Amino acid sequence: MNSALQAGPRSPAIPHPRHAAARIAKTLIGGCSTALALALCLPGFAHATDDSAHTCSDSQLKGRYVFTASGFTRAPASPPGSPWVPKAILEVLQFNGDGTVLTPAITAANPFGDLGAIMQPPGGAPGEYTVNADCTGTVHFFDPSNVTFSIYVESHGATIRMIQTNPSNNVFEGSARRSR
């Protein structure tokens, strides 16, 4: 009698027709699931690409921002080797979307060196800002020290990363976040 026609258990090398159909179905379902997941993700990839191609401008900075920063300072005209002391600031900035900025409120801790003072003037100096297409830029205040920051604008203007570049007796960085 031919071994293929014999009754009894099948050889492990020859799958039962029902098991083969189940494997094919699993393979098809798995492949379709992967294709569906990729198709659903592609719009997200396209969106990410759109964000990286996004350009910035002065008009993105509009509204009130809360700027918090910390760093170090030393007395103006300090000789090299003078010690640096901690400094911190909490400031409200009003960006007008047209390259102008106001400072309605400011609190600075230890602003002039190792005096430990907390300064809360009624407001700070007005200023100007520029935002380049690559989202970098500057903020310059019209105060006696010509305080200037290099900036980077994120999240379509919701956050501004800032580092002070003038006067040189400060090492100072922080972020401004739109509050309204």
Flag the least confident range among 35-39, 52-56, 95-99, 172-176. Answer: 35-39
State which fold the 58-178 domain adopts: Lipocalin (2.40.128)
Q: How confident is the model over 125-145, as pLDDT tens digits? A: 999 999 999 999 999 999 998
How far is it between the farthest Cα atoms of the chain? 109
Tell me the pTM.
0.68
Under 8 Å between Cβ of 65 and 95: yes
- Residue 26, both tokens: 């699993």
Instruction: Return the domain boundaries, the chain.
Output: 14-53, 58-178
Under 8 Å between Cβ of 126 and 102: yes
- The percent of residues in the chain predicted with pLDDT above 70, rounded, is 69
- Rounded Cα–Cα distance for residues 155 and 88 (Å): 25
Whether 69 has a pLDDT exceeding 50, the answer reads yes
E strand or H helix that includes residue 42: helix 17-52
pLDDT mean across residues, the chain: 80
- Rounded Cα–Cα distance for residues 102 and 170 (Å): 21
